[in-house]
Structure 1
Amino acid sequence: MIKINLLPIKAARKREYVKQQLILGAVLLVGAIVGLFMWNSAMNGKIDDATKRGTELAQQIEQYTRAIGEVERFKGLEETLKQKLKIIDDLVRGKVGPVKVLDHLSQIIPEKVWLLKWDEKGGRVTVEGEALSLKEVGRFMTVLATPMEESAPTAAAPVPGVAPATAVAPAPAAGAVAAPAAPAPEAAPTKTQHRFFSNIQLVETKSVDDATYHQTFVQFKLTMNVSYSM
């Protein structure tokens, strides 16, 4: 009986199997490393994109915040302007004095001056308000002291050779054609001045910081005489 030793064949097959397993393991390991590298690169890209987007959003939020702050500031100025117009409107409606004087006051108040209180006793007025600066308070006092000019018609000067309107022209001779009457000259307007406010005195001023509008205002109080005669 012939005996065949199969141990070398089994050993060779075993070595081949182990070799294949090692190669497969190496391939899987390399594939896993490559996959992890690609995944890490993709995640880093997403993180960079998210960081960039977050920075852009933060900048947009900051811009919107500044814009909202400006809107709120203008809303506050609008309310202040409405309050100023309401006070003037109340004065014009005759709560404190004649319309002519108060209408004149509403026209001369500088833009950066706001009246908050108007108190009149016996022709002496106490005014309280706010302004953006002492310079604006000075401007307000200057325009208060400036007289108002009004146009008033005056009688026309006589024209040489032209009879007054009340005179009777002589009758024309028989057969003669009457000359047309010369038109009467128009009255020339003249300027008259009227001073509503006098003896204007600045009683007190105080600088106030407004945290809402980030603005410094000057609160002022002045007294003056008012004349309603026209």
Structure 2
Amino acid sequence: MATINLLPWRAERRRQRERDFYTMLGAAAAAAVLAWFAWGYWMDMRIEDQGARNAYLSGEIKQLEGKLTEIKDLETTKAKLLARKQIIEQLQASRSQMVHLFDELVRTIPEGVRLTSIKQSGNALAVQGVAQANGDVSSYMRNLNSSQWMQGSDLQKTEIKGDDKRNRYEFGLTVKLRSPEQPDVAAPGTPAKPAAPAGKPTAQAAISSAGSAS
């Protein structure tokens, strides 16, 4: 009977399995290395993208900060311009008020009264003058209280000076200034504003007269 020796075939099969194992092991190692490099490349790309985004955001933030600085400068300039405008408007209003005020001072002066000094302190005027009689001073105060630009006259003094009957009484009073739109605080029953008599001096003449007398 013939016999078959299977040892060489089994040895060859074992060697083939070993070769297959090492081949699969090498392929797995190569795949792992490739995957590691791919992951590293992907992470590098992510880091670069994030860096680019950060740089872009930093640039935008700097631009916004620059714009905010410009806005603050514009607001500061605007505030200064508004303050100057307000000052100019106040000066114009004050100049207009002074013109009306001197006209009103002249208009309210009755016959027998002459002013010698006018001083302004804030929203009040200190007026000094001479009159023929105390009644003329009272009439002058009533005229001031009925004025659109003055109110609340207060007599400070009245006394006889010298022998000149035309300028016998020397007086001093204070009166508060107001705008025409302010409510009139004069006492009820204040007489109507007297009409300017013929030949009444102008505001410039009254100022000149007050300056020369003082």
TM-score normalized by structure 2? 0.48
TM-score normalized by structure 1? 0.45
